[in-house]
Amino acid sequence: MYVKGVQPAVDEAVAKHAKDKSLDAASVVKTLPVPTGGEEEEHEHGHEHEHGHEDAPYDPHIWLDPTRMAAVATKLGDRLAAADSDHASAYRSRAKAVAGELGALDQDYRGGLRACKHKAIVTAHAAFGYLAERYGLQQVSVAGVDPTNEPSPKRLGELTRQIKTTGATTVFTETLVSPKVAQTLAKEAGVKTAVLDPVEGVEKGSPDDYMSIMKKNLETLRPALECS
């Protein structure tokens, strides 16, 4: 299983060696369009280019919506069951269990983010569109730029004004990149920083997995958005 358009090397390997045995997770769910706007246009050769995201005709970050992940888990169970009929019931049973865990995670998010004073999440790059759509939030990104690159003074000013307009309290950085951009923007806007993980990888030696990272993200979002 993979998400087409995220890593060109993976796409090439699938095309050469597993074209009929792979599952593109993005083909299972409704996708969102690639985020557009001033920040993406200004830095169109930034973060997306490094990760290959520009190769997808849609926003590839589907894993940040637990309900979409549940649909993918169910589909994967069906595909494995069809490929290995002797163990079909085990595949479908495990897929059902995983979908149930993801459903519970979704309920935690729905409940945790139901009553919040703020809706804007200011992120290092535009990875949280699916999460924002699912839970009624507004993603304001320092575009798709590499978070290690500082925005231009003009863009920094635009983001600062947007933060003040939306009432955002926090600029979110990420686990695997320098927080320099977020810290600079937060200082200009007079707000704090916190880590919101796009689940694109884990630090070496970390015991975290998808579920634990997503739960930490919810714990981070609630105070930042002033949720009751």
pLDDT at 38: 45
pTM here is 0.88
Dihedral sign of CA atoms 211, 69, 135, 165 in order: positive
How far apart, in whole angstroms, are the C-alpha atoms of residue 177 and residue 141? Answer: 15
Q: What tokens were used for 67? A: 């309900």
Residue spans of the chain under pLDDT 70: 36-56, 143-150
Render pLDDT for 189-204 as a digit per residue (tens, 0 to 9). 999 999 999 998 888 8
Q: 122 and 220: one domain?
A: yes
Question: Domain ends where: 111, 141, 161?
Answer: 111
**Is residue 1 domain-resident?**
no
Q: 78 and 164: one domain?
A: no
Q: 28 and 69: one domain?
A: yes
Question: Domain ends where: 83, 111, 139?
Answer: 111
**Residues 15 and 9: beta-carbon distance below 8 Å:** no
For residue 105, what is the enclosing H or E element?
helix 88-112
For residue 193, what is the enclosing H or E element?
strand 192-195
Q: 98 and 14: one domain?
A: yes
**Residues 173 and 179: beta-carbon distance below 8 Å:** yes
Boundaries of domain holding 214: 115-224
* Counted domains in the chain: 2
Question: Domain ends where: 64, 84, 111?
Answer: 111
Q: Is 121 exposed, middle or buried (0-12, 13-18, 19+ CB in 10 A)?
A: buried
Q: 91 and 137: one domain?
A: no
How far apart, in whole angstroms, are the C-alpha atoms of residue 122 and residue 139? Answer: 6
